[in-house]
Chains A and B, each alone.
Chain A
Amino acid sequence: MSEITRDMLMAYADGQLNTSGRAAVEAHVAAHPEADSELSLMTRQTNAIRALYGPATAQPIPSRLDPHRLALIANRRRWQSFARAAGIVLVLGIGIAVGWILRPLNDTGQAYDRLIADAVSAHTVYVAENRHAVEVASADSEHLSTWLSNRLATHLAMPDLSAQGLTFLGGRLLPAPETAGGRAAQLMYEDNTGARLTLYITPATGVAGPPYEALSSGDENALYWANGTFTCTIVGPQSPTTLKTVAQAVFAQLSPEHPPQDYQEL
């Protein structure tokens, strides 16, 4: 009987033993009073725990714990969220459809506008710099031309505007989110009064738009033009007339082989 362990006594008290197991424990307990008191202690604990918490089962069950009701609520909620999701999809669909229908008008209307805006903000930021106005100075003009040509994937000459009274300072590479290549070259010039002028040049965007456009924003004037090879936005405090003269010089040097239809109108 020595193989009756404490675990077996506990299993007996917890009603876990089969008939032969129970018989073995009972025989052991009959011969060992200390095992008997151990066993009755465990049984008393169990009974006390049941007396303590058992009454909870006798209480009426609140309706919020009714599984049928909870299932109904869950169902309703699922339908509501499905309906809401369907509504969102519908509204999104309408929005996308409307956006698609209006797309050609908006895109051509805005792409070159944003490009001009980019050119103006780049101008504003960098002309204010003294030591860091350009990334590569005009002294290194050859390198600058090669580098920017590589980045823009098109040959880009550095226009000489000395005939217009403008000294070449240098240039830098800039992001151009509106174009396919995503890059633009900014070239900076300065006249003898210290007024600066920038060219913001990108490869042709392929987006339809007017061949040129002049606009004024605050102290700066901007002149945009595009041909089959480039777009160029000239920004500076100079008068629109001066900008036109500059544009003609730039145009002639950048793509002499592709004079635009309305070149003369500039």
Chain B
Amino acid sequence: MVDILDEIEACVPALRRYARALTHDADRADDLVQDCLERAIARRSMFRPRGPVRPWLFTILTNLYRNARRADRRREEHVDLDAVPEPSTPAPQPGHLALAELGRAIQTLPLDQKEALLLVTLEGLPYSEAAAILDIPQGTLMSRLGRARATLRTLTGVAAEPHLRTVK
């Protein structure tokens, strides 16, 4: 029991990062992570699959977020892009404006593309693990990823690239 709690604890920073990128809202993200952890802890003896806990936790969080979004979809439809809060970012730097623009662009992606993009790029997960978390074939994952990248490129524009380069 202690063992698995430690394993779960090790995943919390990544879960928070993913949740924050999904929700673009620090408080909502932490609520989501807390829900996810409570669910995982309540079921840890019964439903935990064999193997590492990370994909299991990400699956729970993904499903919770989908459910929550379904619940308030009507509100989501009316989100004004300018009203999307900017995520907490490091101190202003040359790339700051471009990053904020990128953040807003990511929030406009369809959820399935956003999930695929964040699991692979932000979390650095292997395609197979990301596909398993989203419960889709690897080919589907890659096509969503490709579409997400193409959309971001269009939205952020080529002009943003020199700025992006500076944050590397």
Contacts and interface: CB of A to CB of B under 8 A. Distances in A.
Interface of A: 6-7, 10-11, 14-16, 41-42, 44-57, 59, 61-62, 64-68, 70-71, 74
Nearest to A68: B5
B5 A6 contact: no
- Most chain-B CB neighbours within 10 Å: which of A10, A11, A51? A51
Contacts of B95: 48, 51
B149 interface: yes
Interface of B: 1, 5, 8-9, 12-14, 16-17, 20-21, 26, 29-30, 33-34, 37-38, 40-42, 87-90, 95, 98-99, 102-103, 106, 117-118, 120-122, 124, 126-127, 142, 145-146, 149, 152-153, 161, 164-165, 167-168
A69 to B, nearest CB: 10
Contact of B20 (A44, A46, A53, A66): A53
Nearest to B11: A67
A15 B127 CA distance: 10
Nearest to B31: A64
A65 B12 contact: yes
Contact of A10 (B40, B99, B142): B142
B127 A11 contact: yes
B124 A49 contact: no
Contact of B145 (A10, A55, A59): A10
Contacts of B20: 53, 56
10 contacts: A41-B161, A45-B149, A48-B99, A49-B118, A49-B122, A51-B167, A52-B103, A53-B20, A56-B13, A64-B34
